[in-house]
Chain A
Amino acid sequence: MRESQFTLSEIIWIRKGDPEKVFVEKSKPSVHYFYWKWDLYKPEDYEPIMLISSSDQEIIVSRYHWIFTMVWNNVIKIKDKAVADFIVGVHTPIILCHKTIVLIMFDIRDLDLRNQLYLYIILRILKDKYEGLKGVSEKEIKGYLDKITIVDSVEEKYRFGKETKYIILIGAEQNKLSQVLNRVRETLSNESS
């Protein structure tokens, strides 16, 4: 399974967190599934991260607690790659961004209490811990090439890319929302087809 080292490259740097493996599907190499055997209280933790790149901008998309799609804009780059922190215990990825504007695009009244609680904590983390982030040093980051494992497919329940009902955008101005959103949807729909 080490063929991955020769056929694939990392899409981000890791600043905090240490995944046990990183799964990449043969047919969809743009999504990297950062894997831990255990979350705080449940087994099998897959944290997908996808890079959407074009000449003018780079967007990173991740999943948060199954129903939220996190769209990261204006990302901080070191040696051409974005940097991620995986939150201690639950391993949710936080991509470091130059701007910490957070926009939520859905009716929050739709959320049940569990998901309100999850929304609360992720927003508090973004606001309390990442607002005003100055920069990152090269010494703080590491790669994960040795952890990449190519697989035919990850289990269907862990697969990324279909749900875009609950969207949290980080680092995007309101006037660019529509453009960003169309781009993400288009890519996700191509990925899941």
Chain B
Amino acid sequence: MATKIPVEAIPEKQKVYVKGGWLSVRDVAMKYGKHLTATPIDILRWLREKGEPVYFLDFVKELNLNKITAYYTLRKLEAKGLIVRIGKRNALIGLTEKGYYETESATFKFKPTMIDIKYLTSLRMEIQNVLKMLEMGKLDAVNQYFKERATDFKINTYNLEGAYRLIATGLSEYMFKILAVDEPSKKKSHINKLLQFIDEARGIMEVATSLNIDLSTELKLKKIGELEGKPIYSI
């Protein structure tokens, strides 16, 4: 029997006949000394499942990967900020916050264009309906709604840029604040703050549209000095 590899990320649909039994492709590869390949998302998911950083040599061994291919894949992931490599020889590989959420976003890609005035208007209506649910005492349904929504926005902040990222982060933060309180009156107060934030975001989008300003552009502020103990930035 081949050694069991605790890797859920590698597809295991195919079984191979080996001496009267069926083994997974992974087990066969290990048994016969053949390397496998892992996609970047497989690697990220595996690291997330591991729950802690792993050494490069353990990583290639456990995933049964070719060292050179794995090295280059990791370099690409590091360049995207999805993992970090700590140290040089047999580097320790750790999953970054961005990489952590990328594992979820891979199944729910969020297009930056999704956040527009129309979208925020429909989100506002949706939240007003949730507010009605709160008034009817359906606390579980309210929490479920904000839990799902807040997670969606949190995950997708990494796929967004410029003002879109600020808006998604803001939506997520306001929703987590709603979830953090139990008392209905406090929830209602936080929901109203969220609605106000949506109005403001819509206003900013309307201004940007009328002035033909692309909100996905990142704004770079450069620190150029200090005065009275406060930093001074220039654009």
Contact = CB atoms under 8 A, between A and B. Distances in A.
Interface of A: 39-42, 87-90, 101-108, 113-114, 116-118, 120-121, 123-129, 174, 177-178, 181
For chain B, which range describes its interface: under 10, 10 to 19, 20 to 34, or 35 or more residues?
20 to 34
A157 B200 CA distance: 19
Interface in B159-211: 162-163, 166-167, 169-170, 173, 197, 199-204, 206-208, 210-211
Contact of A121 (B173, B207, B235): B207
Given A105-B227, A117-B167, A124 B232 contact: no
Q: Which 8 pairs of residues, A with B, have the shortest CB-CB distance? A: A113-B170, A40-B203, A104-B233, A41-B199, A117-B166, A121-B204, A88-B210, A102-B235
A110 to B, nearest CB: 10
B225 A174 contact: yes
B234 A105 contact: no
Nearest to B198: A41
A29 B213 CA distance: 36
Contacts, number: 99
Contacts of B202: 40-41
Contacts of A117: 163, 166-167, 170, 200-201, 204
Nearest to B200: A114
B227 A178 contact: yes
B118 interface: no
Given A41-B199, A103-B232, A114-B197, A128 B207 contact: no
Nearest to B204: A121
B221 interface: yes
B230 A108 contact: no
Contacts of A90: 203, 207
B218 to A, nearest CB: 10
A114 B221 CA distance: 18
Contacts of A107: 230-231
19 contacts: A41-B200, A42-B199, A89-B203, A102-B235, A103-B233, A104-B235, A105-B232, A108-B231, A113-B173, A117-B166, A117-B167, A117-B170, A117-B204, A118-B200, A121-B163, A121-B207, A121-B213, A123-B235, A181-B227
B169 A113 contact: yes
B14 interface: no
A127 B235 contact: yes
A129 B232 contact: no
